[in-house]
Structure 1
Amino acid sequence: MSIDFRKEVEKRKEAILKDLTEIIQINSELTTFDEKRVNAPFGEGIDEALTFMLNLGKRDGFNTLNAEHYAGHIEYGNQEEYVGMIGHLDVVPAGSGWSYPPYGAVIADGKMYGRGTEDDKGPTIAAYYAMKILKDLDLPLSKRIKLILGTDEETAWRGVKYYFNQYPEQPVAGFIPDSDFPLTYAEKGILRVVVRGKADDSVLHSFEAGLRDNMVPDQAKAVLNNVELEKKYLEFLEKRNLEGSAVVNDGKLELEINGISAHGSTPQLGVNAAYLLVHFFNEVGISNAFIDAINTYLLDDPVGKKLGVDFVEKEMGSVTINAGVFNFNQGKFEIVLNPRYPHGVDYDAFIDKISRGFESLGAQVEIGKHQKLLYVDPNSEMIQKLMGVYKKYTNDVEAKPMTTGGGTFARAMKNSVAFGPHFPGKPTYIHQKNEYIILEDFFLSIAIYAEALFELAK
C-alpha cells in the first residue's frame, strides 16, 4: 500500500497551524506542584494545555482519557496490542531577552517562535496529526495507537509515573517526539544533586543564578557590601566583552551579568553566568565557602574532572555536569547540579565521588531524582523500521542511529526510543530564548511520524 503522507499533511496545513498556534500561546510553565489542587496539580497553565490536547482528540473522534489531571491519552483503535508515543506539554521557564513574545506563536521567516515550539508542544501536535491522518484514511492496522500526554517532563516526571501506575500496560513499540532525527537509541543517566552549606556574607551579601538545573544559567546577580568595586567590575565587563551592569543602591553594589543558556545535557555549549561572576570575585579577591565550592569542583568544568568523575564511553560520550541553579542569602547557599553519565559508569562510585568532594568542604549533599540510562539494541526490528522511514523522507541514506545526553520519556515506557523532530545540521534553541521550529521541517516530521506509525501498527 502506497500512501503519499506528504500530500496528506499538505491538505491539513491550515488546521495544523491553527492548533499549533493555540497550544503555543498557552503558558504551560510549571507553577507549583500541589496534589491537593485536584484539577490542576501542576498549575493552571499545564492543565490548560492538557485540556486543549484532550479536546482536540474529542473533536476528531478519538478515545481520550484524563488521568486525574496528572496526564492523559488520546487513543485510536481497540486492538489488544498498541504502539505508543509520549509528548510533554510543560515547558521550561521562558526567561528573558526574546525577540518575540515567548507565548506569542509569532511566525517570521518560515519559523514559529515560542516556548515549546520544539520542546515539546510542537512535536506533540505533530504526533497527534500523524495519528489523525491514519484515522482519517481508515488504514487497516493490527495495533492500537496511543499518544500519552505528559505534564512535568522538565521537572520530576510525576505525571507519567502516575499515569503508568494507574494504566500500566506497555506498548509493543513506540517513539518519543522529543529529540533528534534520525533516531536516539541510548540516553545517559541523569541525576539531580543539591549541595547546601553555610558561608560568610560580610562581603558577598547575596547571589542568585539559574532557573532550572537542566538549563545553563544565562543571567546571574550578586549584591556586595563593598561599593568601591563598581569601577573594577565595569572594567571586568569591558575587558571580557561581557554584558552586565553595576548599580549602587542603599549602600550596596548590585551586579548583574549575562551568559548564554543551553540545555543541561550540553553545558559546554552555553556560558554559565554564575561562573562569570565567580571569575570576577577571583580577580578582586572575594572568597567564602560558597565561592570556594564553585572554584574547587565546578568552575569551567562541564565534564567533572575537578570532582574526579570524568569518563568517556565510545558510544555515548562523556560525563557532563551542569550547575544550573545557585542561591546564596543570609549566610546559606544552595547549588543544584544536573550530572549525566554514559554506559560504563559505576553509579554508586559516581555519586560517592560527588558527595565526598563537596562534603570535604563542609557542605551537605542530597541526591535527588535519578533517571537511569536507556539503551535499546540499534539493530532491533523497530529501530530498523524507523530508520527506514527517516531515510525515505530525507534521502539521508548514510544516517546512523545516535546516543544523547538528553533525557526523554523513552525511558518512561518500554520498547520505545526518541525519534525526531529536530533535523541534523539545523540550529536549535530549546531551553534558550528565541526557541523556534522551522515550519517546513515541522510539516515534514508529521509525514515521517505518520508513516512510522503505519509501519509499526499495520
Structure 2
Amino acid sequence: MEYSKLAPAYKEEYIEKLFPLLRIPSVFEASDHFPYGKSIDEALHYMLSLGKEDGFLCSNIEGHAGHIEFGAGEEVIGLLGHLDVVPPGDGWSTEPFQPVIEGDCLYARGAQDDKGPVVAAYLAMKLLKDQGFVPKKRVRLILGTDEERDWKGIEHYFKKEEMPVFGFTPDAVFPVIHAEKGLIDSYINFDVPDVTSSNALLSFSSGERLNMVPDAAEARLKINDIEELFQAFLNLHQLKGNIQKQENTFLLTLYGKTAHGSKPENGVNAALHLLKFLKEIQLHPDHAEIVNHIIECLSDPAGSGLNCNFQDEVSGNLTCNMGIVDWKSGEKCRVGVNVRYPVTIDSELIVQSLKRFSKKAHGTMEIYDHLKALHIKKEHPHIQALLEIYNRHAEDTAIPHSIGGATYARALETGVAYGALFKDSPDTAHQANEHIQLKDMIKAIAIYAEAIQHLSR
C-alpha cells in the first residue's frame, strides 16, 4: 500500500474526530465518582465510542484506561497515548479548549500533547482496516488517563491486561527515541519561622505541576515601600508583573513563560525570578536564609547548584526544574523539583544531592515519583525497522535519538517513543498557544500505518 498517497484523504476526518476531543478540558481533578475526574472520563468514553462506531473492539478498564483493538493472534502490539492534559495556564491568543485552525496550524491545549498524535495513530489503524488489512497480531491503541500526573491509570491497566511484545507511543518526536532520561519528582519541605516584624515574606505561591516551568508567581510581603525597586527589577530583566499595596502589606505578581519541565531552559521561571528579587530587598534573616538557599541550589537548569550537573553521550545533560513553590510564614515552605538525569547515571547520586540540599537549610526531602531511565540498543530490529520507515517517508537519514521527556514507552517491557513531531515541527507542549501542523499529522498517519503493518505481520 502507498500510505503517503492514502493518508491525505483522512485530513477532514482527522479534524472532525479531533475537535470534539480537544474541547474536553481533560485536566486531572479529584472526584468521588471518576478515577481522575469527570472530564478525563469523558475523553476516554469519547475515544472508545469512536472505536465502536468504526467497528473496532473496545474495552474500558474501570475508567483507568482503555483500548481500541483490531487483528488476531496470540501477541499484542501496543500503541500507547494519553488523553489527559496539563492545565492551560495564561498567555493564550485563543481559548485553550476551543480548537482553532489558522493556516496549517491547529491550536488547542492537547493538540500536540497528546490528543493530536493519538487521533493520528487511531486513523492509521482505521486506514489499514479500511483497506482490508487484517493484522496477524492484535494491535491495541491503549488510551491512558493520568500521564501528566502519576501514571496510575496505565499502572492499573497493565495489572488487568497483557503486556505487548513491542510497542510505541506517539508522544515525542521522530525518528525513534531509544533512550529517555530517568525522572525524579521530589518535594523539599522547610519550616518557616513566624516573623511579625517588617521585611517578612508572608506567603509565596507559584506553579501547578512539577513538569511545567511556572509562568506566574505571587508573593505577599510586610515591608516598606518597594514599588520603585520592583519596577526597576522588572525593567532590568525585561519581565512583566505588578505590585499592589494592601493596608500594611504589598502583593507582588511576576509573569514568566511556561515550558515543558524536560526543557526548563526554554521557559522563564517566574518563581525563580521573583525569589531573586526578594533576595535583593533584604528580607528578615530567618526568611532570607531559606530564599537564598533555594536560589543557590535551583537557579541552574543543568543542576550545578545541586552538584549533579551530569551528562553522558547517550542522553546528554541533566535538567532540573523548580516547578512549585508554596510558602506560608509561620508554617511551611514546600518546593517541588523535577530532575531528569542521563541514562547511564546512578539515580542514587541525584537522590543524595537532593537530600543534601534539604538538609543544608534544615529541611526534609521526599521522593514523590521516580521513573527509571529507558535505554534500548539502537540495533534492536524493531527500532531499525521503524527508523527505516520514518527515513523513507521523511526523505531523511536520521539516527535514533534520546530525550529528557518521560513517555509511556517506559510502561512497556520493550517499547519506544515514535513521533509524532518532525525535526522542523514547532515544539509547544505545555506552553501557551500549543499547536500542531496538520501536514505533520497527515504524514504521521502514513508512517504509523506502515509501522503497524510491519510490526503486526
Q: TM-score, normalised by structure 1?
A: 0.96
Tell me the residue number matched to 2:308: 309
**2:441 aligned with 1:447, yes or no?**
no
Query: C-alpha displacement at 1:381, in angstroms?
Result: 0.8
Which contiguous aligned blocks of 4+ residues in structure 1 show a shift greater than 6 angstroms?
Answer: none
Tell me the residue number matched to 1:120: 114
Name the SS for the 2:226 alignment partner.
Answer: helix
Tell me the residue number matched to 2:268: 271
Q: Please report the RMSD computed on the Cα atoms of aligned residues, expressed in angstroms.
A: 1.3
**2:382 aligned with 1:385, yes or no?**
no
**2:251 aligned with 1:254, yes or no?**
yes
Query: C-alpha displacement at 1:11, in angstroms?
Result: 2.2
Tell me the residue number matched to 1:171: 164
Q: Could you give the per-residue CA deviations for residues 268-319 of structure 1, whole angstroms, max 9, x where no partner exists?
A: 22111111112211222225143133123112x1122121112110111111
Name the SS for the 1:192 alignment partner.
Answer: strand
Deviates more, 1:108-117 or 1:7-16: 7-16
Tell me the residue number matched to 2:20: 22
Structure 1 unaligned residues grouped into runs of 5+: none
Tell me the residue number matched to 1:350: 350
Q: Distance in 2 between matches of 1:24 and 1:294?
A: 37
Alignment of 1:87-106 (within 5 A): 87-106=81-100
Deviates more, 1:355-364 or 1:184-193: 355-364
Q: TM-score, normalised by structure 2?
A: 0.96
Deviates more, 1:326-335 or 1:342-351: 342-351
Deviates more, 1:400-409 or 1:136-145: 136-145
Name the SS for the 2:357 alignment partner.
Answer: helix
Q: Distance in 2 between matches of 1:231 and 1:201?
A: 27
Q: Could you give the per-residue CA deviations for residues 128-159 of structure 1, whole angstroms, max 9, x where no partner exists?
A: 11111111111143211101000000010000
Q: Distance in 1 between matches of 2:309 and 2:265?
A: 14
Deviates more, 1:146-155 or 1:193-202: 193-202
Q: Could you give the per-residue CA deviations for residues 58-114 of structure 1, whole angstroms, max 9, x where no partner exists?
A: 000111000000000000022111211111000000001100000011111211100
Give 2:146's match in structure 1, choosing from 149, 152, 155: 152
- AA of the residue aligned to 2:368: G
- AA of the residue aligned to 2:182: G
Q: Distance in 1 between matches of 2:344 and 2:102?
A: 44
Quick check: 1:209–1:219 contact (8 Å CA) kept in 2? yes
Name the SS for the 1:448 alignment partner.
Answer: helix
Q: Distance in 1 between matches of 2:127 and 2:216?
A: 43
Quick check: 1:304–1:319 contact (8 Å CA) kept in 2? yes
Name the SS for the 2:28 alignment partner.
Answer: coil
Q: Distance in 2 between matches of 1:19 and 1:344?
A: 41
**2:55 aligned with 1:58, yes or no?**
no
Tell me the residue number matched to 2:373: 373
Give 1:184's match in structure 2, choosing from 177, 184, 203: 177
Q: Distance in 2 between matches of 1:227 and 1:58?
A: 65
Quick check: 1:196–1:335 contact (8 Å CA) kept in 2? yes
**2:198 aligned with 1:200, yes or no?**
no
Quick check: 1:309–1:354 contact (8 Å CA) kept in 2? no
Query: C-alpha displacement at 1:211, in angstroms?
Result: 1.1
Q: Could you give the per-residue CA deviations for residues 327-367 of structure 1, whole angstroms, max 9, x where no partner exists?
A: 00143110011111112212223202211221121001101
Q: 1:95 to 1:201 in 2, by over 3 A?
A: farther
Query: C-alpha displacement at 1:25, in angstroms?
Result: 0.7
Tell me the residue number matched to 1:341: 341
Quick check: 2:290–2:361 contact (8 Å CA) kept in 1? no
Quick check: 1:293–1:358 contact (8 Å CA) kept in 2? no
Tell me the residue number matched to 1:283: 280
